[in-house]
Structure 1
């Protein structure tokens, strides 16, 4: 997980922060749930990311803040997840495409909450959609999180860092951007990235000739 000493006091502080974040998100109507975390004592590198702790997680999405607080009252620093397809959707991309899309969103004046994970993934949050446009759905660089899925939120722990906000939702007044607007910007960013790669290939071919 984190390259640090998991003393009891540090563990307690981290758990309290996770609980506070979970309660805050729940109070804004986000369906949060506890997820698994890396094995801190064993350093289990087989852990590939958080999944819901409860098998019936889909039936717990209307939990009240008091119940949610109880999930983080134990000794284990559960990760923090939000179920998608209910209030919020997410589109997952790599770092380079994420940076390009974030710049375009700022330029259009329609920023979106963005989450970054320590393993190099960016998550663009939006309102709920029925699906992705064909341009995005056909790309192996894009993963959509809709109904029946979930994504990690800060400060979820990974092996070598924590999930963090690139753009916090409170900066936007907790108003999620429309999914169609986010999808349109991501499609434009994908087009620009592919055009750049194509141009670089042409330059490389010319230099080798």
Structure 2
């Protein structure tokens, strides 16, 4: 469960913050979706999306793909009902590559060195999300086949701040407004991640002693 106070007062204030962020993203054309959120006291998942067994958010609506691209007015109405988690569908406007903390830090350092705009999300479970434009070709195999890498494209979604998460809250490492809300080309970020991955392997090989 979420390690924080999920009282009615706190929940109400959090709903307002989530609603404001959702409306802002929807106004910029991002495909916002309401997600499940942690419940207190309910014995079963209720119809608003509160879930007592909640660990990570999933879309509230079973037909969530039909809701992609909802008007900001509809988005505002969703978050009037409940403190839904803030999800964004991937595969149309935005894609994301999810990596572990070590690879995330190396890739973020390379992006800074290149001066490349790239919104980055960090989750309390130690995973990072690198946001890109939607890719027509998906994620290259050299990244996709890595156990520590997960690609979010068509048919998937990602949580965005300030969504509650197991043991904490999702937050920005690099906010999109820092780069004028420009999403980087997917191929550029994929290349940087691959270089960061190759660098990590080289570093590990150098650190390991040679076999006798």
Q: TM-score, normalised by structure 1?
A: 0.91
Which residue number corresponds to residue 109 of structure 2? 103
Q: Unpaired segments of 5 or more residues in structure 2?
A: 43-50
Q: Does 1:157 align with 2:164?
A: yes
Checking the alignment, whether the CA contact within 8 Å between 1:38 and 1:159 is kept in structure 2 is: no
* Separation of aligned partners in 2, 1:6 and 1:96: 31
In the TM superposition, 1:44-193 aligns within 5 A as 46-74=53-81, 76-129=82-135, 130-193=137-200
Distance 1:48 1:12, change over 3 A: closer
Deviation of 1:30 after TM superposition, in Å, equals: 0.2
* Separation of aligned partners in 2, 1:3 and 1:133: 36
Q: TM-score, normalised by structure 2?
A: 0.90
Deviation of 1:78 after TM superposition, in Å, equals: 1.1
Checking the alignment, whether the CA contact within 8 Å between 1:102 and 1:111 is kept in structure 2 is: no
Which residue number corresponds to residue 5 of structure 2? 5
Deviation of 1:45 after TM superposition, in Å, equals: 8.4
Checking the alignment, whether the CA contact within 8 Å between 1:136 and 1:187 is kept in structure 2 is: yes
Q: Deviations over 1:64-118 (max 9, x none)?
A: 11110111112x3210000000100000000111000000001011030000111
Query: Of 193, 198, 203, which residue of structure 1 is paired with 2:205?
Result: 198
What's the Cα RMSD here?
Answer: 1.9
How many residue pairs are counted as aligned between the two chains?
Answer: 204
SS at match of 2:154: coil
SS at match of 1:73: helix
SS at match of 1:72: helix
SS at match of 2:113: helix
* Separation of aligned partners in 2, 1:134 and 1:11: 42
* Separation of aligned partners in 2, 1:67 and 1:135: 40
Deviation of 1:2 after TM superposition, in Å, equals: 4.1
Deviation of 1:41 after TM superposition, in Å, equals: 4.1
Deviation of 1:132 after TM superposition, in Å, equals: 1.3
The answer to which of 180-189 and 125-134 deviates more is 125-134
Checking the alignment, whether the CA contact within 8 Å between 2:117 and 2:183 is kept in structure 1 is: no
The answer to which of 89-98 and 158-167 deviates more is 158-167
* Separation of aligned partners in 2, 1:4 and 1:51: 20
